[in-house]
């Protein structure tokens, strides 16, 4: 009897259970997944003129640019800034949109994005097994009217996508991407010491921009003489470069550098404001911060380019100095004995020793004549003492007649070390040693680290 009553009670309770449980999100999970997938699919197809994409890789922090056009049957046409061929050769592949913890875009056949992820070092120069540490599967984060933001599943780098215009699509498809990349690089080759003006700390400060490989650096000296800088990877677009993450400096977020014509470049911040990219006659950094035995540059030099007679070293153009005649005399004295100077260099070898090195040809043999000095470097002033000829061999001593008054010039310091301005627009970065007794008499040349 008790068992029967217990069974009846269970049946009664079961009859009271509500079968239609209220949904926390007003949809079943499978409905939400389907809707999220459709959102990304529809967004990709909204870009009827395709998408400009920019992706960072983890291996070196560099960025890459892409143009992608998706269709409704899972196919994508792609160009990339990987190399010249990739910029003009369309790569067709397939993609899928699926739900794995979140909606994701997967490139499931080999394309230009796959190159970054390829585990073979011979393909992308990355590490064996990891490539450039990039992804082919990207989690859908969010979108707006003209952008889609995704994030790599493994390496967590963002893939930013922006709608291309009809005009931009035509340029990509007509092979103009390669030309656009070359034009941008040419600007930085022919325009030195680039900067923008940013109003901060009560004045306009010069924020310098430099490019090395696929990485850009912005740097500024603040009012208190401290240095602020930021470095980001970038990818090329048909109209310039876009940073894989905004460059943040002095409270401004720079998202792109856009080339308007061969001589007009602007920086764009996240509000759309444009900043004209200007050129300083000398590098923005103080010379003393850049030149030294352990600094960015330790050598001032000039050189020739071929053997033998056309190898004669020449000074950079666009500079007037009393030193020009001294240098010409040096070259002439060597040439009169059928010897041809191809390099003249002043180098801070270590914290106390400076070297003067003259490379020259005699017949088909290349010779070095060098001398050393002890130096001090204080308040931008270099003082040379303890002249020692023929450091590496006896050539300085045997060629002392040809060296002649050049040695006297070297011993006529002290010298102020500073940048040198050339009237030639495409001049390389120049440094010089100015006689403190006569600022119009200065040795000068290109800068390098030796």
Q: Prior bond to 124 cis, omega within 30?
A: no
- pLDDT for 28 beyond 90: no
pLDDT digits (tens, 9 = 90+) for 346-366: 999 999 999 999 999 998 899
- pLDDT for 14 beyond 50: no
- pLDDT for 145 beyond 80: yes
pLDDT band at 13 (very low <50, low <70, confident <90, very high): very low
> What per-residue confidence (pLDDT) applies to 16?
47
Residues 6+ apart with CB under 8 A from 352: 374, 375
pLDDT digits (tens, 9 = 90+) for 223-237: 888 889 999 999 999
For 403, half-sphere exposure in the C-beta direction (CA atoms, 13 angstrom radius) is 23
> What per-residue confidence (pLDDT) applies to 308?
59
> What per-residue confidence (pLDDT) applies to 2?
47
Percent of the chain beyond pLDDT 90? 81
pTM, two decimal places? 0.79
What's the CA gap between 232 and 216, in Å, rounded? 6
Length of the chain: 450
> What per-residue confidence (pLDDT) applies to 311?
65
Q: Which residue segments constitute the domains of the chain, with CATH numbers given?
A: 29-173 (2.40.128), 177-279 (2.40.128.50), 287-448 (2.40.128)
- pLDDT for 263 beyond 60: yes
pLDDT band at 244 (very low <50, low <70, confident <90, very high): very high
pLDDT digits (tens, 9 = 90+) for 91-117: 999 999 999 999 999 999 999 999 999
Mean pLDDT, rounded, for 272-279: 97
What's the CA gap between 191 and 323, in Å, rounded? 27
Mean pLDDT, rounded, for 132-136: 94
Residue 424 DSSP symbol: S
pLDDT digits (tens, 9 = 90+) for 148-170: 999 999 999 999 999 999 999 99
| DSSP states along 299-353 | EEEEE--SSSGGG--BPPSS---THHHHHHHHHHHHHTTTEEEEEEEEEE-SSSE
pLDDT digits (tens, 9 = 90+) for 314-342: 899 999 999 999 999 999 999 999 999 99
> What per-residue confidence (pLDDT) applies to 305?
60
């Amino acid at each position: 009897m008790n068992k029967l009553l217990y069974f009846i009670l269970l049946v009664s309770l079961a009859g009271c259970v509500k079968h239609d449980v209220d949904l926390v999100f007003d949809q079943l999970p499978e409905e939400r997944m389907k809707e999220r997938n459709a959102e990304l699919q529809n967004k990709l197809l909204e870009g009827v003129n395709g998408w400009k994409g920019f992706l960072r890789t983890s291996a070196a922090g560099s960025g890459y640019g892409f143009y992608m056009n998706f269709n409704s049957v899972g196919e994508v046409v792609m160009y990339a800034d990987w190399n010249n061929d990739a910029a003009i050769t369309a790569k067709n592949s397939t993609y899928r949109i699926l739900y794995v913890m979140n909606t994701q875009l997967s490139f499931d056949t080999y394309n230009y994005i796959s190159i970054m992820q390829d585990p073979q070092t011979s393909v992308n120069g990355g590490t064996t097994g990891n490539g450039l540490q990039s992804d082919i599967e990207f989690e859908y984060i969010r979108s707006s009217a003209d952008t889609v933001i995704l994030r790599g599943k493994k390496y967590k780098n963002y893939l930013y996508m922006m709608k291309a215009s009809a005009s931009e699509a035509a340029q990509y498809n007509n092979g103009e991407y390669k030309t656009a990349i070359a034009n941008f690089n040419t600007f930085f080759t022919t325009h030195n010491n680039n900067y923008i003006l940013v109003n901060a700390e009560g004045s306009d400060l010069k924020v310098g921009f430099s490019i090395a490989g696929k990485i850009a650096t912005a740097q500024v000296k603040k009012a208190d003489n401290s240095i602020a800088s930021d470095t980001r990877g970038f990818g090329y677009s048909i109209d310039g470069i876009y940073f894989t993450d905004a460059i943040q400096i002095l409270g401004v977020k720079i998202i792109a550098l856009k080339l308007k014509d061969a001589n007009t470049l602007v920086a764009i911040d996240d509000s759309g404001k444009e900043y004209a990219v200007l050129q300083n006659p000398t590098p923005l950094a103080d010379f003393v911060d850049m030149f030294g035995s352990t600094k960015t540059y330790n050598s001032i030099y000039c050189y020739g380019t071929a053997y033998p007679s056309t190898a004669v070293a020449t000074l950079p153009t666009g500079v007037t100095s009393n030193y020009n005649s001294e240098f010409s005399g040096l070259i002439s004295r060597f040439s009169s004995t059928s010897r041809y100077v191809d390099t003249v260099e002043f180098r801070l070898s270590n914290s106390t020793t400076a070297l003067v090195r003259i490379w020259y040809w005699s017949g088909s043999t290349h010779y070095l004549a060098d001398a050393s000095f002890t130096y001090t470097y204080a308040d931008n002033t270099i003082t040379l003492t303890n002249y020692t000829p023929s450091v590496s061999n006896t050539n300085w001593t045997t060629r002392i007649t040809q060296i002649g008054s050049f040695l006297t010039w070297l011993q006529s310091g002290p010298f102020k070390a500073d940048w040198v301005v050339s009237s030639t627009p495409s001049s390389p970065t120049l440094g010089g040693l100015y006689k403190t007794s006569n600022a119009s008499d200065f040795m000068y040349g290109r800068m390098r680290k030796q």
